[in-house]
Structure 1
Amino acid sequence: MRPGNSNYSDGPKRVAPPLNRPYQQIHRSPKDNYKSYRKEHSWKAITPAKKNSIPAAPYPSLPTKGQVLDEKNKIDSQIIEYQIDLSTLRQAPQTVGVVSHVESQPDSLGVVDVGGFIANMNLVDSVIAQNKNNAKLAAKEASVDANQRMMFSSHAPYAVQDLREHEDLLPLLFTSVFYTKMIEKEKEEALAEQYDTMRGIWNTQCDAVDTIAENPVFPWPEDMPESMTKTADDKVYMEFVADDTPMIINPAEKDVFKFNTDARLVNDPVSEHHVYKQRVKWSEEEKNIFLEQWCSHPKDFVKIASFLPDKSVKEVIEFYYLNKNLYDMKNLQAASKKRAGGRKKVASEGAIHK
């Protein structure tokens, strides 16, 4: 409705003007207020924006009847192909889980039943032959000549490489080595003279000890030689041990003689152990035979294994300890004894009267 008068017909609602005018403009006559209101809020025609319309084709044409029939035939042929594929997929899962008859297969396929598993022996034989061939090639590469008694790896290539890299320093290097060898020779000569002198003193003392019986008076030495006792600390012994000289190796040579241990790394030990436990497969028939023989011969694994030709004693023991709680073998054994009747009763004819 229009503001201030209820006799007007309903129309679109207008927002009231903001009260930010002066006091004189607000307190005017209703007629003046209505005129100013109409002047400020005059209605304006809102024309819709023109849209860019796409013009039609000047000469529109429709496909011919033959083209429509060709498209229809193509779609029908695709539908038939899809129906054939769908029927094939519906029939495929029916063969899953069906026991195969190995006996009816021809011998040329090489399909046999091994302990409840269907295996292709042709494939197995090809894998074994390939492994033998690889083993022969590996042995041939690692074989040693009959005239060669031991294998020898030379460090000469690295030495030649070092000489080529330090060719400019060779004169200085040879000069240093020459003076070092000369000093070592002088020291060897001095040590030889010292050894000769001490050897003479040692021989004199040995002669005196050997002839002690001939000399009734043997003077006691004034200073006793110091000797280490057996209880000496390791630190004392280490003082007489020579230092271990570090060996300088070429970086390239050092990388060659490294040992790679990545082949023995196990990323997930838990899953690997689970796979190891599942390596031996037991069929339902073998499980039933084990449980039946367990009730008759508890913990006699050698005798139980004799009824299972495809399982060893070790595998039978492993199966028992992995599944004894699953099959509750303790109560199973007690139930078998109870069904047998427990103790045997002996019937008596009664007391003998004299």
Structure 2
Amino acid sequence: MTVATALVSGNDPLPQLAEEAVHQALEKAGLTHANGVLLFLTPEFSRHAQQTITAVARTAQCTQVAGGIASGVFTESGWTLDRPAAAVMVFGRGLSLGHPEAGKHPVLSYAGGTFPPEWSNTGPRFGGSFSGNAGYAEALVWQQSRLSEQQRCCVQLLGAKVDIGVSSGLQLLGEAQVVDSSNGFDLEKLGGQTALKSLNRLLPAALRHPTALQLHHVTAVLMEGENNTRNALAEGRYHPIPIISANPDNSLTLAERVLPGQLLAWAIRQPISSEADMRQTLDQLADQLAKTTDKPACALMFSCIGRGPYFYGGDDRDLDVLCERFPGLPVLGTYGTGQIAPMTQGAHCLNRQTQNSVVTALVSKQTKDDHVQSIT
């Protein structure tokens, strides 16, 4: 397997930036042409997307060009936000892109907009979505070197085994409690206490007063299934809900309605805990990978725009942790508005879209014994 990446940025969204990225990646890989190319562009390219895609296909001598517009892009060499940039990953010698076989192997999926409902139960998927930026044309997606009218991209990494991990970045504050009462978007009581008292009781002292000024650090987490909060988080059976405001009657206004009888926990998202969660996710992936292969050939990473350099104060610690854990590994990634990953629910595998998460896929050589891809 031969894989390489390149990231090129400039002052203007010109196709030449993407062409240069392909040239650099091919040279790194020692290839004259590619079996497949993943191409992600920043929003400035929206008006020139097809022209850029065509230039990439011509340069790579390959019609299997897939990807989309993202808020920002990155490789193992660095990241780019708020500037025109093209990030590419080229594949050769035993690895290529192809039409997905439903239900068999994880499918790389990327959406321009919201998560398509039909992706929920059509076999394991991983990837991301981007809803677009103000001032630019709608988010675009491409496959087989052409813009997708449905704004959806679905490709399979042929000849590859894919191990997937999800870092939610959440640090739970205690176990889930049963919602006692709610009124519209206002959560009134859970676990026998008012919503605000329940939250204050579990918050670190530094964030406890005044709570109304610290809500951006905290989120409500709706749990699904059995009353085991940490199992639900590890298995992806959770749904974060932002807290909008704290009210004089000690209720909390949430971004979505919750109903009496549902299980809800409180969690905090801070840089130090999110980085620790990313390390744990990668350790689990590495342990899983060690059972079947020596090392990964590359990684694909889909991060939230609220989780990258803006969150970590100018550095992307999630990317740094990945590069530290797997030195020299080719990495291609995007910052978007949603992340797509499979979750386990009994014997079934369902896909979901999350926010403020990092979905990491380690790609390695497929062997004859690789019938089922692992999900961490």
TM-score (norm 2): 0.12
Higher relative contact order (CA 8 A, sep 6+): 2
TM-score (norm 1): 0.13
Instruction: State which structure, 1 or 2, has the greater radius of gyration over its C-alpha atoms.
Output: 1
| Structure (1 or 2) with the greater strand fraction | 2
